[in-house]
Structure 1
Amino acid sequence: MKGKKTGGRQKGTPNKVTTMSKAAIAEVLSDYNESGLLQSDFMLLKPLERITIAEKLMQYVMPKIQSVAVDLGGGDENRTIEDKLISLSIKYEREQKK
């Protein structure tokens, strides 16, 4: 049963703790980056570790591309050209009657 919301945060208002936590983490990372240690520590890693970390970080700055399955067959592999033409002709005639 849905009731009317009478108190608490309004819809869409960010949580103060979450906002403060994000700001603190952003500040620590910013300081780490500006000190030059981030890049030097990154370069000390093995190449495979660098690629793994770079891949994990990229998801925060680049949108993920969804994979798409493409079926080029259309399910008509066993139909002859004549069958396809008849089917198209019937479709065309139906459209003309509308």
Structure 2
Amino acid sequence: MKTGGRKKGTPNKENPLKGFIRAHSLSYFEPKNVKFNGKATIMSDFELDMAELAPDDRVNAELRLLEFHTPKMKAVDVDMSAKINVRTIEDKLSALCGEDADEDDDEDD
């Protein structure tokens, strides 16, 4: 039973700063008619900025952008140790018969 808070389906309150940032980001990636290297072309401000970077700086920028699109992998510690008792076929057969393997060793002496 719900005792308070918003009713189901009520939209979140608008945040003017969030709206401004979203609009700015969209305009930064929106293709426009621009002049690049003396030629008229259609590029976004982002593409212009990337083209003006040195190759190593461009790669670093792309890698930093990829951090926002790919999930971070967590390190997982796994204990791979196993305790294995090696038993021969004779040990298994004697266990099935109900005999103790130690008794057979005593008889041989």
The TM-score with structure 2 as length reference comes to 0.45
- The structure, 1 or 2, with the larger RCO (C-alpha pairs under 8 Å, 6+ apart) is 2
Instruction: Looking at secondary structure, tell me which structure has more helix per residue.
Output: 1
Instruction: Looking at secondary structure, tell me which structure has more strand per residue.
Output: 2
The TM-score with structure 1 as length reference comes to 0.48
Work out which of the two has the higher radius of gyration on C-alpha atoms and give 1 or 2: 2
